[in-house]
Structure 1
């Protein structure tokens, strides 16, 4: 196992793109994320309940999405990056059997605070599941 290096503020440039990350959406990911975040809403783990709500399948909760956004950005930035803010908006639901692909880019730099702004999206077969911005403080 190799240790991941943390990005340094001085090495980041506006327009720099983050590597694409595809995440398979599975029943285990959706239900495990809901349980881990103590979200026991039936639509996140009970197929019959989700279908009674008009959904074709169980669907991912926002806290799992939030965690996946954090994973995506942190894999690029490294372990010494500190999250200053994370602002996301949900769109199309994430259902098991689909895949969500993250893309992002550096859209702002603040040298005084060593803050980097990342704008990102996570898309599935129906469109954007999540869009947002993340501000990171880098060493």
Structure 2
């Protein structure tokens, strides 16, 4: 699904998606800049997200990504696949292993359910790094009936 320059890509339609569809993987390099910048952008000034020394004092090996960034990356992943006419109705996530600088989180997902009543698609998402699952959860997204 590629769009002409200056136009939005087409959105997936409800009819074009089936239970069991697998979304393409999205690798996200976890840089120190990404962790610090997104923590600041979300007004999360906890020292564990920007001060390596204090993060280690509190028992972490280094600074780590905050949950708002993880939530935003899950949203970006699903909406990037679903397209601009999709509407995220709910994101439910849990954090596991921390995302530290120098690692890569790979987002993967599978369509697990469809609801004909409101054109909702349920998607199970996992973001894993070298330590294990960083984020797991479900995203509910409403898709259009036809291309827009």
- Bucket of the pairwise TM-score, normalised by the shorter protein: over 0.9
Deviation at 1:128, TM superposition (A): 0.1
Structure 2 residue 68 is the aligned partner of structure 1 residue 97? no
Deviation at 1:5, TM superposition (A): 1.3
Match of 1:115 in 2: 120
Deviation at 1:64, TM superposition (A): 0.4
Match of 1:86 in 2: 91
- For residue 35 of structure 1, give the secondary structure of its aligned residue in structure 2: helix
Deviating 4+ runs (over 2 angstroms)? none
What RMSD in Å do the two structures reach over aligned CA positions?
0.8
Deviation at 1:54, TM superposition (A): 1.2
TM-score by length of 1: 0.98
Q: Which residues of structure 1 form unaligned runs of 5+? A: none
The 5-angstrom pairing of residues 1-139 of structure 1 reads: 1=5, 3-139=8-144
Q: Which residues of structure 2 form unaligned runs of 5+? A: none
- For residue 20 of structure 2, give the secondary structure of its aligned residue in structure 1: coil
- For residue 64 of structure 1, give the secondary structure of its aligned residue in structure 2: helix
CA–CA separation in structure 2 for the residues paired with 1:138 and 1:74: 10
CA–CA separation in structure 2 for the residues paired with 1:51 and 1:115: 43
Q: Deviations over 1:32-76 (max 9, x none)?
A: 110010000000001111011111110000000000000110110
- For residue 78 of structure 2, give the secondary structure of its aligned residue in structure 1: helix
CA–CA separation in structure 2 for the residues paired with 1:120 and 1:67: 13
TM-score by length of 2: 0.92
Number of aligned positions between the proteins: 139
